[in-house]
């Protein structure tokens, strides 16, 4: 940014130097060119903010860099043309001073926006993509070979889209002048000019506009899908990494419905962020360009009923009208942000209830729980409907005002300009051009009026992603601040616990283990009453329980596997379910079939390629045996069974344990169970016994 800031400063100084000693105006007896002086002065301000640009958001820096670069080119071109150095064949392409000043003002606006809190909230979500050093995932090998990263691709696409939008504004301005000349030809009954303008000027620029729209659409969609792909991967990785998927459920409302936030909220955020950044710049460009048209009308506009001349009266009317509309719209629509945020949560909760009901369809049917489920669904939908009607009520008030506002907008410019047309002070073409320019200026100034509800929904979406990001960070850092549970790779073969204290999320201590050692190669049964912290102890050993402190030494080369009471069965083929968490390609078909047979799932051995909803197709006992098959394939050094055979009958359970000891002779097995028959299947037992203060202590039995 320093080099670019220096270039901006140099271009500004050149304009100031070129503006002194030339021009029709004078300051203290010195001839000056107001255009060059204005371009130079605003350029110095742009140079200052460009030099400080490294302190603002990376996303906003992209726009600041682009506008600074454009200013350098345009300012030097304007200075050259003003001093007679501009090539004659490019005379029609000479940039006006207003364009240079407009570009510089854009840069100043971008810098100012960085200090608005809500803009900072939005850009904090956007910045990581434009700072990413990952190789590009887009199917563009020629860029990948050149060392391009995701940040390079995203930055290039943003800049390209901004330039395309600027060109589209230029096309609109050119068509505005076509409209003026065309209606003048109609008024003058000049048939030759009518057809010439239509077939040459309009046709040419209309084709360019269509082509630019198609190019913009392609690159816009490319940017959004690449950005979404990267962002979804980052959120998914953060959610699934380091036990985050489990810990998210422990930290409260900020983490509700992570599936929707990754699938839907990211998509909506990216689409709206593009719309409200690129198109807002387009609207500002439109505002400036068409304001100049309104300001430069040759007629002398006076206040109605007076002789007071007001230069650019249509512009001031558009400004006042739009400012009034924006203020009223904000007053009416402000509660929509809170209501839209709540609506997203109610919708997500209702969808989650339906998905959960489908998952537990068999259990609900067996318990005849349909009426209860209908009551639960009805309650959730009642909340959804109640909040929806609050939105409808507020939106009706907003729509009432914006409808009146929208109906008056097209008529207002004609009301202003018609008296001057009837007095022959302006032509029909000029009146048509003023009406069109007034409409474009009013639309640009009414940007927030027309989109207030959408912006409210966008703000709610940004809030949801922000709270989700904060929840992800909290989940990943939960239990990392000392004192905490330290799971340490050890050089020995045994698993040792020292000074361990496990707590519940509310801070109550549940397990205390001063010293506990589990011998490698042995089979240990952990027993105790329900709620005594047996499963919590296993979670701590697995490294996902964040509440507590102490040390757990696990052999550094050991492979650890924990089988819960209710196994997770992913969607896909039976082989995919049997090899989880490894991929299906990790093991041969024969190895998977053999593991299923050993786990007493022989009837399914020939169906490993069948793609069904195995989580519902298999019974509870079959799912537990499927998890046993995973252990046979994985061959862990330590196998923790958290009531992983509770759905089996005692005879089958004994056969499974005997098979495990035979097939995995080098595996240390640690089980949680309540059946007395399990005692004979293990070498030793640890009993969770309550101390005098109610905290459970694991003690050899």
Buried b or exposed e, range 385-396, using 16+ CB within 10 angstroms: eebbebbeebbe
Residues above pLDDT 70, as percent of the chain: 90
Same domain, 131 and 19: no
Coil/strand/helix, residue 521: coil
Angstrom distance (rounded) from CA 107 to CA 65: 8
Highest average pLDDT, of 255-264, 435-444, 575-584, comes from 575-584
Tell me what the mean pLDDT of segment 106-133 comes to. Answer: 90
Lowest mean pLDDT among 112-116, 364-368, 463-467, 626-630: 364-368
Single out the residue in 476, 505, 520 at which a domain terminates: 476
Angstrom distance (rounded) from CA 125 to CA 473: 13
The helix or strand, by DSSP H or E, that contains position 63, with its residue range, turns out to be helix 58-82
Coil/strand/helix, residue 305: coil
Tell me if 596 sits within 8 A of 607, measured CB to CB. no
DSSP state of 251: S
Angstrom distance (rounded) from CA 286 to CA 367: 64
Tell me what the mean pLDDT of segment 161-168 comes to. Answer: 87
In 3D, which of 670, 672, 654 has the Cα closest to residue 662? 654
Angstrom distance (rounded) from CA 657 to CA 655: 6
DSSP state of 125: H
DSSP state of 697: E
Q: The tokens of 527 are what?
A: 């027993």
The pLDDT value given to residue 413: 81
Cβ contacts of residue 575 below 8 Å, gap of 6+?
A: 584, 589, 592, 608, 609
The pLDDT value given to residue 3: 92
In the predicted structure, residue 254 carries a pLDDT above the cut 60: no
Same domain, 111 and 198: no
Angstrom distance (rounded) from CA 381 to CA 182: 57
Lowest mean pLDDT among 43-57, 438-452, 549-563, 621-635: 438-452
Q: The tokens of 458 are what?
A: 């966008």
The larger pLDDT score, comparing residue 193 to residue 138, is at: 193
Confidence bin at 57 (pLDDT 50/70/90)? very high
Axis-axis angle for helices 370-408, 452-477 (nearest 10):
140
Q: The tokens of 349 are what?
A: 């909760």
Q: The tokens of 164 are what?
A: 């395309």
Lowest mean pLDDT among 473-482, 520-529, 631-640, 667-676: 473-482
Domain that holds residue 81: 1-115
The pLDDT value given to residue 255: 62
Coil/strand/helix, residue 253: helix
The CATH number linked to 524 is 3.40.50.300
Residues above pLDDT 90, as percent of the chain: 39
For the question of whether the overall pTM of this predicted structure is more than 0.75, the answer is: no
The pLDDT value given to residue 374: 87
In the predicted structure, residue 679 carries a pLDDT above the cut 60: yes
In 3D, which of 309, 405, 680, 294 has the Cα closest to residue 523? 680
Confidence bin at 445 (pLDDT 50/70/90)? low
Rg (CA), the chain: 35
Same domain, 312 and 401: yes
Q: Is the dihedral of CA 686, 692, 696, 697 positive or negative?
A: negative
Angstrom distance (rounded) from CA 413 to CA 404: 16
The pLDDT value given to residue 651: 93
> How many other C-beta atoms are found inside a 10 Å radius of the C-beta of residue 338?
15
Confidence bin at 657 (pLDDT 50/70/90)? very high
The pLDDT value given to residue 362: 63
Same domain, 622 and 694: yes
Whole-number average pLDDT of the chain:
86
Same domain, 303 and 412: yes
Same domain, 649 and 575: yes
The pLDDT value given to residue 640: 96
The pLDDT value given to residue 447: 67
The pLDDT value given to residue 263: 84
The pLDDT value given to residue 351: 84
The pLDDT value given to residue 28: 61
Angstrom distance (rounded) from CA 10 to CA 51: 13
Q: The tokens of 295 are what?
A: 């300001």
Confidence bin at 241 (pLDDT 50/70/90)? confident
The pLDDT value given to residue 553: 94
The pLDDT value given to residue 576: 93
Tell me if 113 sits within 8 A of 57, measured CB to CB. no
- Number of separate domains in the chain: 3
Tell me if 127 sits within 8 A of 172, measured CB to CB. no
Confidence bin at 25 (pLDDT 50/70/90)? low
Same domain, 121 and 196: yes
Tell me what the mean pLDDT of segment 125-148 comes to. Answer: 77
DSSP 165-227: HHHHHHHHHHHHHHHHHHHHHHHTT-HHHHHHIIIIIIHHHHHHHHHHHHHHHHHHHHHHHHH
Q: The tokens of 100 are what?
A: 């240079």
Bond before 483 cis per omega within 30 degrees: yes
Same domain, 159 and 243: yes
Q: What is the pLDDT of residues 526-569, one digit of tens each?
A: 999 999 999 999 999 988 899 999 999 999 889 999 999 999 99
Cβ contacts of residue 557 below 8 Å, gap of 6+?
A: 637
Contacts of 198-207 spanning 24+ positions with Cβ under 8 A: 201/174, 202/175, 202/178, 205/171, 205/174, 205/175, 205/178, 206/175
Axis-axis angle for helices 203-240, 117-130 (nearest 10):
80
Single out the residue in 476, 500, 515 at which a domain terminates: 476
- Which residue's structure tokens are 């080098």? 666
Q: What is the pLDDT of residues 376-432, one digit of tens each?
A: 888 889 999 999 999 999 889 888 888 888 788 778 888 877 887 787 777 887 788
Q: First and final CA of the chain: distance in angstroms?
A: 70
Angstrom distance (rounded) from CA 291 to CA 204: 25
Same domain, 190 and 79: no
The larger pLDDT score, comparing residue 552 to residue 169, is at: 552
The CATH number linked to 368 is 1.20.1560.10
Same domain, 272 and 363: yes
Q: What is the pLDDT of residues 299-355, one digit of tens each?
A: 667 666 667 767 667 777 777 877 788 788 888 888 887 888 888 888 888 888 887
Q: The tokens of 426 are what?
A: 């302006």
In the predicted structure, residue 297 carries a pLDDT above the cut 70: no
Same domain, 433 and 509: no
In 3D, which of 180, 284, 287, 161 has the Cα closest to residue 224? 161
In the predicted structure, residue 92 carries a pLDDT above the cut 70: no
The pLDDT value given to residue 361: 74
The pLDDT value given to residue 440: 73
Angstrom distance (rounded) from CA 523 to CA 358: 38
C-alpha pair distances (Å), 56 with each of 112, 344, 681: 10, 31, 65
The helix or strand, by DSSP H or E, that contains position 668, with its residue range, turns out to be strand 668-672
Same domain, 495 and 376: no
Coil/strand/helix, residue 597: helix
Q: The tokens of 639 are what?
A: 């196998």
The pLDDT value given to residue 434: 77
β-sheet bridge partners, residue 500:
513
In the predicted structure, residue 142 carries a pLDDT above the cut 70: no
Lowest mean pLDDT among 81-85, 187-191, 471-475, 522-526: 81-85
The helix or strand, by DSSP H or E, that contains position 690, with its residue range, turns out to be strand 684-690
Single out the residue in 446, 476, 506 at which a domain terminates: 476
In the predicted structure, residue 453 carries a pLDDT above the cut 90: no
Tell me if 98 sits within 8 A of 288, measured CB to CB. yes
């Amino acid at each position: 940014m320093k080099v670019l800031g220096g270039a901006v400063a140099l271009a500004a100084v050149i304009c100031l130097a070129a503006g002194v000693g030339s021009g029709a105006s004078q300051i203290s007896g010195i001839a000056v060119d107001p255009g060059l002086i204005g371009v130079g002065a605003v350029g110095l301000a742009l140079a200052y903010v460009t030099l400080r640009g490294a302190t603002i958001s990376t996303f906003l820096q992209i726009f600041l860099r682009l506008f600074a670069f454009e200013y350098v080119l345009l300012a030097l071109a304007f200075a050259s043309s003003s001093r007679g150095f501009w090539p004659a064949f490019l005379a029609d392409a000479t940039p006006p001073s207003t364009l240079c000043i407009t570009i510089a003002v854009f840069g100043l606006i971008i810098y100012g926006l960085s200090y608005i809190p809500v803009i900072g909230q939005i850009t904090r979500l956007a910045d990581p993509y434009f700072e990413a050093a990952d190789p590009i995932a887009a199917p563009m090998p020629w860029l990948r070979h050149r060392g391009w990263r995701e940040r390079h691709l995203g930055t290039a696409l943003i800049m390209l889209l901004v330039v395309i939008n600027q060109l589209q504004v230029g096309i609109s301005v050119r068509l505005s002048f076509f409209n003026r000349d065309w209606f003048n030809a109609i008024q003058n009954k000049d048939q030759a000019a009518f057809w010439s303008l239509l077939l040459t000027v309009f046709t040419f620029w209309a084709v360019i506009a269509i082509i630019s729209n198609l190019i913009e659409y392609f690159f816009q969609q490319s940017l959004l899908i690449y950005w979404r792909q990267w962002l979804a991967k980052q959120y998914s990785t953060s959610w699934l990494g380091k036990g985050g998927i489990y810990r998210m459920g422990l930290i409260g409302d900020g983490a509700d419905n992570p599936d929707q936030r990754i699938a839907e909220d990211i998509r909506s955020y990216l689409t709206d962020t593009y719309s409200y950044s690129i198109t807002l710049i387009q609207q500002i460009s439109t505002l400036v360009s068409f304001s100049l048209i309104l300001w430069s009308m040759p007629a002398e506009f006076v206040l109605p009923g007076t002789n007071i001349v007001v230069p650019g009266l249509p512009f001031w009317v558009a400004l006042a009208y739009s400012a009034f509309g924006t203020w009223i719209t904000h007053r009416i629509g402000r509660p929509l942000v809170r209501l839209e945020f709540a609506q997203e949560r109610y919708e997500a909760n209702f969808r989650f209830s339906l998905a959960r009901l489908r998952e537990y369809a068999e259990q609900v049917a067996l318990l005849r729980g349909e009426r209860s489920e209908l009551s639960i669904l009805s309650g959730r939908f009642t909340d959804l409907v109640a909040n929806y009607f609050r939105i409808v009520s507020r939106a009706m008030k907003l729509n009432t005002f914006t409808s009146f506002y929208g109906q008056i907008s097209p008529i207002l410019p004609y009301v202003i300009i018609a008296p001057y047309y009837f007095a022959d002070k302006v032509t029909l073409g000029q009146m048509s051009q003023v009406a069109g320019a007034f409409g474009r200026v009013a639309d640009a100034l009414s940007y927030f009026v027309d989109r207030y509800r959408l912006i409210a929904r966008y703000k709610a979406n940004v809030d949801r992603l922000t709270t989700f990001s904060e929840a992800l960070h909290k989940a990943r850092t939960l239990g990392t601040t000392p004192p905490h549970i330290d799971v340490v790779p050890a050089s020995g073969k045994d698993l040792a616990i020292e000074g361990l204290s496990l707590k519940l999320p509310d801070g109550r201590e549940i397990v205390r283990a001063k010293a506990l050692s589990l011998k490698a190669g042995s089979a240990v049964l952990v027993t105790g009453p329900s709620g005594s912290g047996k499963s919590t102890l296993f979670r701590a050993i697995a490294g996902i329980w964040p509440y507590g402190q102490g040390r757990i030494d696990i052999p550094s080369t050991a492979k650890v596997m924990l089988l819960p009471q209710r196994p997770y069965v992913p969607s896909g083929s039976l082989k995919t379910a049997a090899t989880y968490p490894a991929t299906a390609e990790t093991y041969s078909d024969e190895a998977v079939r053999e593991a299923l047979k050993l786990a007493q799932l022989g009837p399914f051995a020939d169906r490993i390629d069948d793609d069904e909803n195995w989580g519902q197709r298999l019974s509870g006992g079959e799912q537990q045996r499927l998890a046993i098959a995973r252990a046979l394939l994985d061959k862990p050094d330590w196998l923790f069974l958290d009531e992983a055979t509770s759905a089996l009958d005692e005879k089958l359970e004994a056969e499974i344990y005997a098979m495990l000891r035979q097939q995995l002779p080098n595996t240390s097995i640690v089980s949680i169970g309540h059946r007395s028959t399990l005692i004979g299947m293990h070498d030793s037992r640890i009993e969770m016994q309550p101390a005098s203060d109610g905290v459970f202590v694991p003690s050899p039995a």
